[in-house]
Structure 1
Amino acid sequence: MATRTDKGILLAEELLVWLRQNSVIIPAIDVVERTCAEAMAGGDKIVFQTLNALLTPAHRDALDSLLESSDNQPSRLTWLLQPPGKINGKNVLQHLDRLSSIESLALPEGIDRTIHQNRLLKLAREGRKMSSRDLTRFSAARRHAILVCVLEEARATLTDEVIELHERMLNSLFSKAKRTQAERLQQTGKLIQSKLRQYIDVGQALSEARDSGGDPWLAIENILPWPEFVASLEETRHLARKNNFDPLHIITEKYSTLRKYAPRMLSALQLVATPTAQPLADALVVIKDMYRKQSRKVPATAPLEFIPESWRRVVITPAGIDRQYYEFCALSELKGALRSGDIWVKGSRRYKNFDDYLIPEGDFDKLTPALPLPVSADYHEYIASRMTLLQSRLEEVNAMAALGELPDVEISDKGVKVSPLDNCVPAQVSPLAELVYCMLPRPKITEILDEVNSWTTFTRHFSHIKNDITRPDTRLLLTTILADGINLGLTKMAEACPGSTKSSLEDIQAWYIRDETYSAALAELVNAQGKRPLAAFWGDGTTSSSDGQNFRTGSSGRYAGQVNPKYGQESGRQFYTHISDQYSPFYTCIISRVRDSTHVLDGLLYHESDLEIREHYTDTAGFTDHVFALMHLLGFAFCPRIVSVHRGPY
């Protein structure tokens, strides 16, 4: 157990279970504590030995060299852990250099799977928080074990970030092509109008000449001299080029940007495809060989099945396969294949094989008898039962609609009409609410934090990342939490709070405040609120809803240059929050770059509170067919508010 986790409370619980199962009298608490402490120390030793056993002396020397620095330059480890930065080919190449540096260490294959994933992630987080100087003070076994965990996590992170940079680069290139096309069209708009009017006049003159039997050439020259007419034809031919109307014909103007990093990216990523995406994978192999051999032409045998119809007219030309368009098309299709799971990347965390997310088949077979599924595991049997139910429900709704018996809904040839909800709150409540609010005291937010902590002790969840020890003095901890909550920043918070310094707040933020500590503390607050009798007046805690809020920021951060489909490219952060019917926000995450529906299930599955949500509401942004299907399989009733149902939600 101690090799899987170093949390003392879990070890103590496991020890007590073992003592009871073996009919051993439970000893005093200090004996339990000492036993768990020895187990934790022994577990650490086993983990360090397991990781070091696979390392050669050359590996250890290479790991130690990562901590060296000279001439006031950061260590190589610090360089390896740098974020990707802005969207450009230089930053993609730098990230590929980092990935190549980790690969050059040639760490033993599968070393990350020799210890439990929890311990690997914990050691990796510890290592990221420490400076190179701090790591050099550890024993060789511990230092090398931590560095291995940091590098294995960094390898997966770098792989994901290289793919993400590529996606952002393509999005940027296509956006620029669309803007260029729009600008060119705008610049030539007046000229196009004049040419249209000119050819209307010419056409009218020719029509009149034919009707009257006149000379057509003279009719044209009466509009404009013949040399000007010939020159006008050439100008019109230039205006009618496809480049002016289709951004796809402009994209290759930025081919050099793609060519700068694409060869190294394809060489660095180990792509594996499903049968559906095999033609695309074969095309990427062809492109990789072209880069290696410095070929200028695409082989006639290159795969073409993956090319969508919109690309075919530019990729396949009378002269053969256009190389630039072929590369652009393949790399663009790779982006979609990675997102759909048709292609996965070895060593990636985000783009790994879909089967890796599932319970292994052998383990599933063992679990099924002990934990029977509430639905049939046979696909045909399950679908048949659902189709039968769907048919009966449709017939029931159809009969009620024909008789006008559907509550608050009218279905006719004109469509579906839903009656608006009535306001269930009496008008007299508003004056009373204002009166009550005026009677409430106006305490400082720091006093509220202290008082709530005295009721719930939520600060006990903010433990040190290394030893799980909490701070006895909560003043600086609450100050740091407040700085996060009001987005003031540690520098301004330190200036505003006597007795605190920026360095002390940074130390607390680095070692005590993490996503998991915030989640545990939030669960503590939600549970405490749910136990209050007043909460039951609003609901029983089985219904929830979720929505996103966008907050503008004054500067760009890690995801600068990315575009949110709804809010555009302006700097901002979108917080997606799940709220129960007791008005407790039991789950929150940042989703600045994706649609709300991507994270609807996260809040229902990963919150740590005692709430048992059975029914969930969202707006249109929280709805997709996939969410509907998964909600049913997971046992949740899903109630989205879908705007413009007749047009579809997408």
Structure 2
Amino acid sequence: MEEKNSVSINELPSYSESLALDWTLSADEIQFILNSAKGDNPILNFAIQLKSLQNSGVFHDYDNEDVLPEKITQYLAKQLSIEIISLTPISKNSQTTYHKKIQTYLNYQDFSDKQEAFLKKYIMHEMKTDLYSESVLIEKARDFLKTHKIMRPAVTVFDRLIASIHKESMHLLYDNLANKLTPDKKEKILLMLKRQPHLLSQANYYKKSPPEPSQLKINTFIKRFNELKEAGITEIEFSDITESIFDKLELLGRTYDASALSHISPENKKIALLLCTLSSASKNILDHILDMNSKLLAKKERISQNFYEKTLKKLNSQAKKGLKFIIKTTKQWRYHADPKNTTLFDFIETVDDKALDDSIAACEAMSTYQTSGFYQILENKYNDLRKYTTHLFELEFKGAAGTESILKSIHILKKLNDEKSNTLPSDAPTDFIPKMWKQAICNDTDGVSRRTWEMALYYAIKNNIEKGDIYLNHSKKHRYFWNTVYSESAWEKEKPLAFKSLGFPEKFDELLAVLKKEYFAGITLSKNGLKEKSFFHLDQNGKLKLKRDDALEIPESVKTLKKLIEARMPPVRIEKMLSDIEEAHYFSRFFLPPEGFDKKFAINKEMLHMGLVAQGTNLGFDDMSKSTLSATSLEELKHTAQWCIRPDSVTKTNNFFVEKHAEHPLAQLHGDFSRSSSDAERFCIQKSTDLASFYPKAFGYYQKVIAIYTHMSDQFSVFSTQVISCGVREASYVLDGLLNNLMITSPHFHCTDTGGFTHQLFALCYLLGFSFQPRLKDLAVQTLYKFNRNDHYGEIDSMFGGHIDIDCIAEQWEQLIRIVVSLKNHVAPAHLILQKLAARGSSDRVAKAIMGLGKLIKTIYILYYLSDESLRRKVQLQLNRGETRHYLARHIFFANQGEFKTADYEEMMSIASCLSLLSNAVLLWNTPRIYNIVAELRASGIHVDDEDLKKVSLLLFKHLIVHGTYDFRAANMPVVDYASNLKEDA
């Protein structure tokens, strides 16, 4: 039978959503139908074909197993004033005649060679914008043909054509990338693969995460970068392909293991994937080098400071004793009983010479050490640092205006290293040496030594790199600050719509009027709160004193309800829970290989679930393969994880879980997703990594830890997961989670603890439309700010300790919006911008303006927070929910004593993301069961108040079994072919 260019019911619009829109006939169409067909059945068939071509760009296929929904036939029949009992197919000849009439009426063209060329040109253009799969291209091609009123060819012909164009475009892309290299450089990168197969595995040699910094490790990373530079990788420009295409090819190349990558054909594809992977690696290596340098210098400074303080304490003790003796001796001289008859010689005879000399020496030592001791200790690290800095400064540093002396000094240092000279030239800049350092170490006779000059240069470069004023062009992270956000040229294009998109006026004065209104309303509230003395009061010195809020009350009725629910929650193994969710929601459809993977790929859902549990429980693939009753191949398990359990697929699944859970009435009872919180949970780590740091408060000084920073909604769902260092402020990462949220809904209010707060964050949250509501542990000593230094606010005036430079904010208003729009449009990671702004400090006008605005917003927030018990309780409740989630995470993440075994950042992110996925899976599994239990309790006559139900966590886990032997056979799910089109969730 000849194949038809027909539509299946699956392609037809859903009548439940668009019946009137898609199946309504115009008066002209009704007349055309009635003129073209005779008899109720032919008329209705004609109408169906007309609307099918109009709606879907193809005629309806009567041989398809799907049946046209009855509502559609009834709706069409009603418009045509005919009565139809059942629709029956018409003859092939009549069908052909009708198709020609309809095609002519709707001005559809036949699919000729000309139209094929037209379609090919369109597809080739689309493939230059992104790395689309064949299934996506088929959808795009269908829409294109429909838009241009071109008949779609038979299904097989059409699919083969798209596949052919897709293949051709991919080959052109691979050829274009491979041809960026000369033949000898192609050979070089292929030799990398042949000579070092063990290094180009998934944990790529050039993509390895950095360990704890040391001179040796930094040199190793510099060596890796130089290898890639010598191979010509760093010289390649990719401006002719989009960032999205590059990123997807890089991910694809990184996902292949060495063996598979070496067997890829054609060769240009292999070279293209390697080129993108290695180019990205070279940028990351530069970032790692500068990060390790910064951390090592900070470590040397910290060690020096600790040693200095320890020694200073001893010297101070000795100097105190000596000072007492000197004071005693001075008093004896000053208040001598018979000064007229006592010579100096006689007086000296009465003094203990040794004790006096020792006392003077102790005081002098103390004075000298206070002035220069720290810098001398720090300079003693010079020889250690020189073991790698000679190589570090061979890199091509660039600088912004104002860094000319540092750039000149780098050039001089390179020359001194090359010439092996210790003599500083007379024109060597010294303005970057801190005044205290110069005064402590240098003298007028000898001037600045090479050691002092070079050590000061190291720290000047470090500080300016953190600001974004000294940078490396090839780096991803350490770029010039104003190239991290929208560049000047890009901003000129974006600026016309920027203010409107954010909802702010072009002049700050208009917004200032709004902020002043809120500010003075807060002043009034605080004055009233002070009179009531319910939460705060001022002591006799005018200092703010707080009364601790009562803990959030948990009534007995809530405790009883929780026990009733927990007792009725059915015990479930974690693998069975995933199987239940799979059956209900088919979430495995999100776990696809990276785009560009052109082989047919089938995955066993059992293996997928096994991989998710292995990661999320910290058991690992090896131990999981030994702990399951399923017939498990370790290689198959690792292969599934390698290709499917990736950050983007886990994120998509997590987002789906969160949105699906938000639809449940019990989730909506707890919250409406308008409020969220973020907090870090810390875990020990067994391997060396630059992310690890000591956290003495909870882990002492012997165990290094990392943090998993999660964002959680008021419905208990986790919508962002990041692995971060405990050595940086959590506040840097608050915005990343909020801005990277790709779900339909987004929280408006966001809570953190004190560690999640900075002035810059207050400002940026406000400008991005988030109401930032931290719980400030040191609230009583937080500085509140006035608009003007001379303003007076009556009885609460003593609460204020500073003023805001409003003129600076107004002056830099456009630049603030430039930064905010850059963040909103994901031009740069939010944590990077926040860290650079913090490093730039008040000496930079833009950074000062952002800090000033943040001080204003913080002041308004605190004024309201002090006076509004409801606000304080909402913040407390949301933070308590986050703590509840930590308990569940600890329960799930049980293996290896809850300690990370890997130092690779991507592996840590995969584990952390899978932990969040399992947490959300528990939530999705628990919620309907809790809802049903409550319904049963009510049906049995037990009263359950909604207010009590709101206070029962949805993250109950006593019934969740995570230990023991796993049995994924309970699912026994079929192999799924992911090369086929994905079905939408029912």
Same fold (TM over 0.5): yes
2:408 corresponds to: 282
Q: Distance in 2 between matches of 1:120 and 1:103?
A: 19
Question: Is the 1:464–1:511 Cα contact (8 Å) retained in structure 2?
Answer: yes
Among candidates 547, 553, 576, match of residue 447 of structure 1: 576
Q: Which runs of 5+ in 2 are unaligned?
A: 1-125, 784-837, 839-986
2:623 corresponds to: 492
Question: Is the 1:209–1:216 Cα contact (8 Å) retained in structure 2?
Answer: no
2:456 matches 1:329 = yes
1:142 corresponds to: 269
Question: Is the 1:341–1:351 Cα contact (8 Å) retained in structure 2?
Answer: yes
Alignment of 1:118-197 (within 5 A): 118-138=244-264, 139-185=266-312, 191-192=318-319, 194-197=321-324
Q: Distance in 1 between matches of 2:591 and 2:397?
A: 40
2:180 matches 1:54 = yes
Compared with structure 1, are the counterparts of its residues 523 and 27 closer, same or farther at alpha carbon in structure 2 (3 Å cutoff)? farther
Alignment of 1:253-332 (within 5 A): 253-268=380-395, 270-314=396-440, 316-318=442-444, 319-332=446-459
2:631 matches 1:631 = no
Q: Distance in 2 between matches of 1:510 and 1:153?
A: 19
Of 10-19 and 173-182, more deviation after overlay is shown by: 10-19
2:719 matches 1:586 = yes
2:517 matches 1:382 = no
SS at match of 1:329: helix
Report the alpha carbon displacement of residue 330 of structure 1 after superposing the two structures with TM.
1.8
What is the aligned-residue identity percentage? 22
Question: Is the 1:112–1:149 Cα contact (8 Å) retained in structure 2?
Answer: no
SS at match of 1:313: helix
Q: Distance in 2 between matches of 1:237 and 1:388?
A: 59
1:608 corresponds to: 742
Among candidates 502, 517, 526, match of residue 649 of structure 2: 517
Q: Distance in 2 between matches of 1:370 and 1:86?
A: 45
Question: Is the 2:471–2:478 Cα contact (8 Å) retained in structure 1?
Answer: yes
1:461 corresponds to: 590
SS at match of 2:712: strand
Compared with structure 1, are the counterparts of its residues 372 and 189 closer, same or farther at alpha carbon in structure 2 (3 Å cutoff)? closer
Q: Render the CA deviation track for 1:272-308: whole Å, top value 9, x for unaligned.
A: 2222333333333333333233332333333333333
Compared with structure 1, are the counterparts of its residues 557 and 16 closer, same or farther at alpha carbon in structure 2 (3 Å cutoff)? farther
SS at match of 1:588: strand
Q: Distance in 1 between matches of 2:335 and 2:677?
A: 70
Report the alpha carbon displacement of residue 188 of structure 1 after superposing the two structures with TM.
5.4
SS at match of 1:635: coil
Question: Is the 1:205–1:220 Cα contact (8 Å) retained in structure 2?
Answer: no
Q: Distance in 1 between matches of 2:237 and 2:438?
A: 45
Question: Is the 1:575–1:589 Cα contact (8 Å) retained in structure 2?
Answer: yes
Report the alpha carbon displacement of residue 508 of structure 1 after superposing the two structures with TM.
2.6
Q: Render the CA deviation track for 1:228-256: whole Å, top value 9, x for unaligned.
A: 65466556645654279742221111111
1:598 corresponds to: 732
2:147 matches 1:21 = yes
SS at match of 2:742: coil
Among candidates 610, 616, 620, match of residue 479 of structure 1: 610
Bigger relative CO (Cα 8 Å, ≥ 6 apart): 2
Q: Distance in 1 between matches of 2:235 and 2:550?
A: 61
Q: Render the CA deviation track for 1:461-508: whole Å, top value 9, x for unaligned.
A: 222233597644111221121121111222222221243344333323
SS at match of 1:347: coil
Compared with structure 1, are the counterparts of its residues 362 and 199 closer, same or farther at alpha carbon in structure 2 (3 Å cutoff)? closer
Compared with structure 1, are the counterparts of its residues 565 and 338 closer, same or farther at alpha carbon in structure 2 (3 Å cutoff)? farther
Of 211-220 and 175-184, more deviation after overlay is shown by: 211-220
Compared with structure 1, are the counterparts of its residues 82 and 37 closer, same or farther at alpha carbon in structure 2 (3 Å cutoff)? same
TM-score by length of 2: 0.60
SS at match of 1:550: strand
Of 573-582 and 191-200, more deviation after overlay is shown by: 191-200
- Aligned-partner residue type, residue 280 of structure 2: E
- Aligned-partner residue type, residue 340 of structure 1: K
Q: Distance in 2 between matches of 1:15 and 1:174?
A: 61
Q: Distance in 2 between matches of 1:604 and 1:367?
A: 22
Of 637-646 and 24-33, more deviation after overlay is shown by: 24-33
Report the alpha carbon displacement of residue 37 of structure 1 after superposing the two structures with TM.
3.4
2:211 matches 1:85 = yes
- Aligned-partner residue type, residue 429 of structure 1: V
Compared with structure 1, are the counterparts of its residues 591 and 8 closer, same or farther at alpha carbon in structure 2 (3 Å cutoff)? farther
1:622 corresponds to: 756
Report the alpha carbon displacement of residue 577 of structure 1 after superposing the two structures with TM.
0.9
Compared with structure 1, are the counterparts of its residues 350 and 508 closer, same or farther at alpha carbon in structure 2 (3 Å cutoff)? same
Question: Is the 1:580–1:586 Cα contact (8 Å) retained in structure 2?
Answer: yes
Alignment of 1:26-105 (within 5 A): 33-69=159-195, 79-105=205-231
Q: Which runs of 5+ in 1 are unaligned?
A: none
Alignment of 1:107-122 (within 5 A): 107=233, 109-122=235-248
Q: Distance in 1 between matches of 2:640 and 2:755?
A: 37
SS at match of 2:292: helix
Compared with structure 1, are the counterparts of its residues 74 and 421 closer, same or farther at alpha carbon in structure 2 (3 Å cutoff)? closer
Q: Render the CA deviation track for 1:134-166: whole Å, top value 9, x for unaligned.
A: 333223211211221122111101111110111
Alignment of 1:321-400 (within 5 A): 321-359=448-486, 373-374=500-501, 381-400=506-525
Question: Is the 1:206–1:216 Cα contact (8 Å) retained in structure 2?
Answer: no
Q: Distance in 2 between matches of 1:60 and 1:85?
A: 30
Question: Is the 2:322–2:360 Cα contact (8 Å) retained in structure 1?
Answer: no
Q: Distance in 1 between matches of 2:708 and 2:304?
A: 31
2:373 matches 1:242 = no
Larger radius of gyration: 2
Report the alpha carbon displacement of residue 377 of structure 1 after superposing the two structures with TM.
8.0
- Aligned-partner residue type, residue 262 of structure 1: T
How many equivalent residue pairs?
A: 644
- Aligned-partner residue type, residue 57 of structure 1: P
Question: Is the 1:463–1:469 Cα contact (8 Å) retained in structure 2?
Answer: no
SS at match of 1:102: helix
- Aligned-partner residue type, residue 397 of structure 1: G
Compared with structure 1, are the counterparts of its residues 594 and 219 closer, same or farther at alpha carbon in structure 2 (3 Å cutoff)? same
Alignment of 1:399-414 (within 5 A): 399-402=524-527, 413-414=542-543
Question: Is the 2:692–2:705 Cα contact (8 Å) retained in structure 1?
Answer: no
Report the alpha carbon displacement of residue 338 of structure 1 after superposing the two structures with TM.
1.4
SS at match of 1:55: coil
SS at match of 2:393: helix
Compared with structure 1, are the counterparts of its residues 12 and 345 closer, same or farther at alpha carbon in structure 2 (3 Å cutoff)? same
Q: Distance in 1 between matches of 2:503 and 2:468?
A: 26
2:659 matches 1:530 = no
Question: Is the 2:707–2:723 Cα contact (8 Å) retained in structure 1?
Answer: yes
TM-score by length of 1: 0.88
Compared with structure 1, are the counterparts of its residues 107 and 446 closer, same or farther at alpha carbon in structure 2 (3 Å cutoff)? closer
Among candidates 485, 494, 508, match of residue 640 of structure 2: 508
SS at match of 1:250: helix
Report the alpha carbon displacement of residue 621 of structure 1 after superposing the two structures with TM.
1.7
Q: Render the CA deviation track for 1:533-574: whole Å, top value 9, x for unaligned.
A: 211101111221111111223x13322664579878732221
Among candidates 706, 713, 718, match of residue 573 of structure 1: 706
Q: Distance in 2 between matches of 1:354 and 1:208?
A: 65
Among candidates 524, 535, 549, match of residue 681 of structure 2: 549
Question: Is the 1:181–1:247 Cα contact (8 Å) retained in structure 2?
Answer: yes
Question: Is the 1:209–1:215 Cα contact (8 Å) retained in structure 2?
Answer: no
SS at match of 1:112: coil
- Aligned-partner residue type, residue 486 of structure 1: T
